[in-house]
A and B are shown apart, each in its own frame.
Chain A
C-alpha cells in the first residue's frame, strides 16, 4: 500500500506539531485580550442618552461640584443620579426654551422620571460602595477618569474584577488627600492642604503620598480588602 502522504509533507507536519503550543498560547492570549477588549467591557463606548448631558460643560466650564448633583456620594453606596428637580433649579432660568431640554421639561411637567442609560455597570452580585471609597481618599478620577472633560460620558476603565483587585491590593496608587477627592485635575504635589489642615510635604510623588495617606486614613490592609465578601454578598 502506498504512503498516503508524500515525504515532502514531513517538514510541514513537524512545523504544525511544533506550532501547536504557539497556537494554543496565542488562542489564550487572544481570548484574554478579547475578554479585556473595549468591545467586551464596554469601555469607551458612548451610549445614547435621553438628553446629551455634558460633564465638560457643567463641571469644567461652569465649575459645578460633583456633589451638587451626586448628593449621596459621601453617605450611600450609590452616588445618586440627580432628580429632575435638580436640573430644573437652573434650567427654569437658563436655556429654558432649548429644544435639547424638552425631555427634561416634559419630565418635570408630567412627573415622569427621565430614564437614563447606565454607563458604569457593575454586575448585580457586586456591591460597590461610593461612600467608603470617597471617605478613604479615593478620588472620582480613579474610576471615572477625567469625566469633567467628557462631553458625553463613557466608561473609561474596564471595570473587570482584576482592575478592582489591583487597587484593593495596592490602594496607595489611588489615594489622594480628602480635600482633593472631587478635584479631578489634581496631581500629587507638596503643599496640598488636607481637610484637617495638614500641609503635605511628602516629596510630591504618588507613591510616598499614598503610603502616608494609607496610614492617615486607616485604609485596611490588602488581606482584608481582598476577601470575597468585601464585594460579593
Chain B
C-alpha cells in the first residue's frame, strides 16, 4: 500500500515527536511546549491588564464599562425605570421589531462582485451571507465579504468633506467638481485624470465615466489596483490577440495544476472556484451522483500546487512543489514544452525533482480521458500567462469546456485605450510623469489609496500635490486624503445605490441598507462632475432601463427592476462567450523571445503577496480581519517575512525553534533588514515549513500611517517601499548578509495562534489516499453506476477508524448512527429510501434496539455471515460514566455537524462568519499574545512529512526534528476546523459546579452565560480546547459606539468572567423551531410523526450555521440526525394519516455514514456529536516514489 505519503502509522508513543505537528517547536518537544500542553491557561492569564494597556484596549474596541454594573447576577433588581422603549413615530411598513429582513446586494473587491444577502435588524445590517442565486457565490462568501460589514460601523470612518483639511460641505464640493469640468471643456479634458479601482464594464459608474469622456475626450481614466491583474489580462491578449476574461470550470477538471496561483482564495472568484474544485475532492462512497454531493472515489480530482510559499491550494493539493519565483517561470516553460506547445522559450535551470514533476504532470494533463486545467498566478510574467493559455489549449481544456473565455468584464478593455487600461500600473506611472511635468490640472481619486499602495519608485503622494486640484473619495481620511485638496467621505457599498458584476459578468444591483455620515458614492461624484440631475437610484435605474430596452425583456421595466433587485442577480447579464475555438491560442513573439529566467544559486528572491486578511491595506482598520489568523502562518495583527528553516539559517536568524510555536500566542522573533535599490524595510522573520528555500515572502498592506485606532494597534511593517514598478511581484538577486538581507539586533513579538489549543498527538486530522480507499472497498458494477461496500462488513476505512481503546463505545456510536446497519448498507443500493419499510416492530424508531432487531433479520437471511461483523454489545466494555445517556436520544431532533476535511481550504471564512454571527469580541494583539483569542471555531493547520524524513529511520528526537525542519519540499498541510464538538458525554458538563453548561434534549452542549461563575474547570477538562474565557470585559457595552450596532441581538453579550463557546448557532435553531412550532396550522409546513407526537417538520437545510453558509468549499454539513425517523403525515378529518414512508436520510446523516467518518479524539470516550470525514488524497503513484528524498536540488 502506497502510504509513504502521509502519517497514518497510528498514534505515537510518548516521547517521540508527533506525525502531525502544528509547529516546529512541537516536533522538538521543547519544555515550553510540554508545559503549555499541560496548562490550559498561562500562568498570568487571570491577571487584569495594567492600567495603561487597559485604557489602550478600551480605545481599541471602542468599549467602556459604563453598563457593567446593572447586568449582574440578578438584573431584575429594581429593573423598572432603568430601560426605555422607543417605538417608531410612524412605523415603516416592512419593519416589525424582532423580525429580520434580508436584502440581496453585492460587495466588490478588485472590481469583481460577490452576490450577498444581508440580514438587517431594525434597519441595521448585522450579517452578510452569500446569495445562492449568484453564480459567483452560490451561497458562500470569503472573509472580506463577511468582514466588510464592520467597516460600515467603523468609528474611525471619515465623517465629512474637507477642503485643505478644513470642514466643508457637499454643496461646495459639488461646485468645485463642476468647476473642474467647465474649466476643462476648452482643453477637451486634457488636464483631467480620474483614478479608480477596477470598474466593471456596462455598470452605471463605467457608463457615467464614459459619458464624461464623450464630453471631455482627452481625459484619462486609470484603473489601478495594488493587487493588479495586469499580467493575467495581458497574457490573454498575447494568446488570443484581444482582451478576454477567462472563466474556469473546476467541476470538470480531473487534474488541476496551480502554479503560484491560490485559485481558491485569491480574488472574489475564488469563492465559486472553491465550490467547484472542492466538489471534486469530497469523496462520497454512497451514491454521490444522485445527490450531486461530492464524487465517487474514482472521480476524485488530482491537484498539483507549485508555489514559492504555502497557500490554501497548497494545503489541499496532492503534491506540492516549492520553487523560487524565477524557477516557477522556468517550470511553466518546461511544462509547456512537455505537453507539446511549440516554440516555447528556453527555461532556466531546474532541479531534477522539478523536472520529474513537470514530466509527470504533463503525462497527467495529456491523458485524453481526463480534463486538465493549468492556472498560473497573476504574479508570474505575461509570458507565463501566455504559456498557460497555450498549455490549456494544447491539453484540450478549452475544447472540453474547463476554460471558457467571455467578453471582458472589466471596463475599458475594448476599443482605443484598452492597452492603457490593461496595464494599470503602467498607466499610473504615466500619470505620475504627467503630474511631475505639470500637465495635470485636476486629479480625481475615486476609491483606493494609491498614495499608500502605489509602487514606491513612483512616489505618488508627492506627485499628487503637483496637480492644481485633487479630489479624494474614500471611506477613511487615509494617506491619499491627506495629500488631496478635497476629501469627500465615501458611502460604503452597503450604504449606496450601485451596480457591479461578478467574475463571469453577472450583474447585481447594490442597494443601500443603512446610512452613516451621509457619504457619497463614486456614482454621485461622477454625476456631480456631469452636473447630472437625479438620485443615485434613478441613475442606476437608467442604466438598467437601457439594458431592459436593448434586450427587449418581455416583462415591463418596473417588474424587471423589482425581480432583479429582489433576486440579487440581473437575468441575462453574464458576459457573452467569446468566439474562441480550440487551437486558437498562440504564443506571441514577445513570449517566444522571452529571456530565460535568471535563477542563481545562493541568491534569495523576494516574493510580494497581498496580505491574506487585510488585503492591500484597505482592511487595516477592521478588527475582525486583523485578529483573524492568516490562513497558513496563523499570525494575527502583523505581517512577517516568511522563510524556510534553511533560509533562516542562511540569514543567521534564530533557528533554535523555541519561538516558532507561538505557545499561548506569543513568539519572539528576529528582525531582518531588506534593501532593494537603496530602499530599506525591517520585518520580523517567521519560519514556515513548506516555504521554498531561498525565498522571502512578504505580505504588503501593513504599516499604514493614516489609519484608525485598530490599524495603529496592529501596526505591522510596510513593505511597499521596496515594491517598485519593475519589481511588482518579485525581486531577485538578494544576497544574505551582510548584504541586501541582513539580520538586525532587534527582536519583535508576534501574535501567532499556531501553538494554542494544541491537542496531543493523536492523529487529529486524518487522511488517506484514493488507492487505499479503493483497496478497502468491494465494488459492484450495476451498469451505469457502482455500489461500494467497505470490505469485511466494516463501517470505516482503516485510516478513519477509531483506536481499539474505544471499541465498545465505538459500537454504540455506530449504533447511534441513523438507521440500522442493514439500512446503512442498503443506502448504497438502488432502492429509494422511501421504499424501505422501517416501521416494523415496536422499536422501529429506536436506535439502540435496532441492532437487536437487525440481528433477527440477519439470522433469517444469512446466518453464516453474522459472526464476523455483529458482536454483542458487551456492557462490561463500556466505560463507567457519570454522564446521563443523552446519546441514545430517540425522542428529539438530534442536531449534528459533519466536516469534510477533504474540502476544507483553510480560508477562515467560517471563523469570521462566526465572529459576525455570535458577537465575538476583538481583543487586540496584546491579549492574543496571552493566548486569549476568542474565536469559537478555529482552523488547526497541521504539517506532516513522509516517514522517510522522520519516522522509520533511527534518529534521536533532535535529529529527527531537524530533518523535518529542513524537509521543506516534503511538507504536506492539513486543515481542520474545530468548533465545539457537542460531545454526547461532555467532559465539561461534569465539572461545572453551577451547571452552567448542560445538555439539551436535542443534544446541544448548552452554555448558559449568565449562570457561569468563571471557574474555568470546563475549559480545563475540554480535550478539544474549544472553550473561551472572557478574562476582561471584552464585549462592547458602550451604547454610544457605532460598533455596538453590528451586534446580533439574538446572541447574548458575554461579560467579564464568563466562559463561552460554540453551540451550533443555537439562536438560529431556536428561531427556526419557534417558527415551525408556530406553524402547526399552516398547511404549507409539513407535519411528521415522531416519537413525541405530531411535530411540524424543520426541513433539511432550513437551519444553516454561520460557518456552514460561509464555507466556500461546502465542507460543513449541519442537520438533524433523526430526520430519517420521521414519517410525513397529513390531517384527514380528526386524525393524522401517514402520507408516505420515512423521510430520507438528512445530508449530515449521509456524511456520517461515509466510511471516512471519524470522531475527533473519540478514543477519549467523549462521543463527539460533530464528526470529521477524513481527507482522501489522490497522489500520483509515480511521484510518491520520489517523496521523501529531502529538500529539492
A84 touches B1077 (CB 8 A): no
The answer on a CB contact under 8 Å between A118 and B82 is yes
In the complex, A117 Cα to B85 Cα: how many Å? 6
Q: Is B290 part of the contact surface with A, judged by Cβ < 8 Å? A: no
Stretch among B275-283, B317-325, B405-413, B1049-1057 lining the A interface: B1049-1057
- Name the residue on B nearest A109 (C-beta): B89
Contact A233 B98 (CB under 8 A): no
Could you say which of B89, B97, B1050 contacts A84, with CB atoms under 8 Å apart? B89
Sort A-B residue pairs by CB-CB distance and give the 3 closest, nearest first.
Answer: A121-B79, A76-B98, A227-B1000
B892 and A76 contact, CB distance less than 8 A: no
C-alpha spacing A126/B75, complex, angstroms: 11
Do A124 and B75 touch across chains, with their CB atoms under 8 A apart? yes
Distance in Å from the Cβ of A216 to the closest Cβ of chain B?
10
Binds B, one of A39-47, A53-61, A142-150, A185-193: A39-47
Chain B contacts for A129, CB-based, 8 A: 1074
Contact in complex: A233, B87 (CB < 8 Å): no
Between A218, A223, A229, the greatest number of chain B beta carbons within 10 A of the residue's beta carbon is seen for A229
CA distance A123 to B1067 in the complex (A): 16
Q: Does B1092 contact A (CB under 8 A)?
A: yes
- In the complex, what residues of B have CB within 8 A of residue A45's CB? 80
**How far in angstroms is the closest Cβ of chain B from A127?**
7
Q: CA–CA, A112 to B90, complex, Å? A: 10
6 interchain pairs, CB-CB under 8 A: A124-B75, A126-B1010, A132-B1077, A159-B76, A220-B1077, A229-B1006
- Neighbour of A229 across the interface among B87, B98, B1066, CB < 8 A: B1066
**Is B97 a contact of A111 with CB atoms below 8 Å?**
no
The answer to whether A135 and B1094 touch across the interface, beta carbons within 8 angstroms, is no
Q: How many residues of A contact B (CB 8 A)?
A: 60
Q: Mark B47-83, 1 if CB is under 8 A from A, else 0.
A: 0000000000000000000000001001111111111
Q: How far is the CA of A233 from the CA of B1074 in the complex (A)?
A: 14
Name which residue of chain B comes closest to A221, CB basis: B1092
Q: A75-B96, A228-B1008, A232-B1006 are in contact. List 7 more A-B contacts (CB 8 A).
A: A82-B87, A84-B87, A85-B89, A116-B87, A118-B83, A220-B1077, A223-B891
A96 located at the interface, meaning its Cβ lies under 8 Å from any Cβ of chain B in the complex: no
Contacts A121-B83, A223-B1001: A132 and B76 contacting too (C-beta < 8 A)? no
Quick check: A85 and B90 within 8 Å, CB to CB? yes
Q: Does A183 contact B (CB under 8 A)?
A: no
- 0 or 1 for each of B1036-1067: is its CB under 8 Å from A? (1 = yes): 00000000000000111100000000010011
Chain A residues near B1009: list those with CB within 8 A: 125, 232
Q: Does B1028 contact A (CB under 8 A)?
A: no
User: Do the beta carbons of A78 and B80 come within 8 Å of each other?
Assistant: no
Among candidates A83, A124, A136, A224, residue contacting B87 with C-beta atoms closer than 8 Å: A83
Determine whether the beta carbon of B89 is less than 8 Å from that of A121: no
Residues of A within 8 A of B78 (CB): 39-40, 42
- Chain B positions 1083 through 1116: 1 when the CB is less than 8 Å from some CB of chain A, otherwise 0: 0000000001111100000000000000000000
Determine if A233 and B1052 form an interchain contact, defined as CB atoms under 8 angstroms apart. Answer: yes
Provided the pairs A135-B1077, A218-B1093, A229-B1000 are in contact, do residues A123 and B76 lie with their beta carbons within 8 angstroms?
A: yes
Which residues of chain A are near B1095, meaning CB under 8 Å? 218
Separation of A85 and B86 alpha carbons in the complex (Å): 13
Q: How far is the CA of A107 from the CA of B87 in the complex (A)?
A: 11
The answer to whether B1006 and A83 touch across the interface, beta carbons within 8 angstroms, is: no
Contact A41 B76 (CB under 8 A): yes
**Closest A-chain residue to B1068, C-beta based?**
A233
| A77 surroundings in chain B (CB, below 8 A) | 98
Interface residues of A (CB under 8 A from B): 35, 39-42, 45, 47-48, 71-72, 75-78, 80-85, 107-108, 111-119, 121, 123-127, 129, 131-132, 135-136, 155, 158-160, 196, 215, 217-218, 220-221, 223-224, 227-230, 232-233
B1078 at the A interface (CB under 8 A): yes
Known A-B contacts A111-B89, A113-B89, A221-B1092; the reply to A123 vs B98 at CB < 8 A is no
Name the CB-closest residue of A to B91. Answer: A83
Which residues on the B side are within 8 Å of A113 (C-beta)?
Answer: 86-89
Determine if B84 and A115 form an interchain contact, defined as CB atoms under 8 angstroms apart.
Answer: yes
Do A233 and B1050 have beta carbons less than 8 Å apart?
A: yes
A41 to chain B, nearest CB (A): 6
Interface positions of B from 180 to 207, Cβ below 8 Å from A: none
Chain B residue at minimal CB-CB distance from A224: B1001
Residue of A nearest to B1007 (CB): A228
A118–B1001 Cα gap in the complex (Å)? 33
Chain B residues with CB under 8 A of A233: 1050-1052, 1063, 1066-1067, 1070
A132 and B1078 in contact, given A85-B90, A220-B1092, A223-B1001 (Cβ under 8 angstroms): yes
Which residue of B87, B1006, B1063 contacts A114 across the interface (Cβ within 8 Å)? B87
A196 and B82 alpha carbons, distance in the complex (Å): 42
Q: A218-B1095, A229-B1070 are in contact. Are A47 and B81 (CB under 8 A)?
A: yes
Assuming the A-B contacts A78-B97, A135-B1077, are A121 and B82 also in contact, with contact meaning beta carbons closer than 8 angstroms in the complex? Answer: yes
| Residues A121 and B80 in contact in the complex (CB < 8 Å), given A113-B88, A129-B1074 | yes
Q: Is B1080 on the interface with A (CB-CB < 8 A)?
A: yes
Q: Is the CB of A48 within 8 A of B88?
A: no
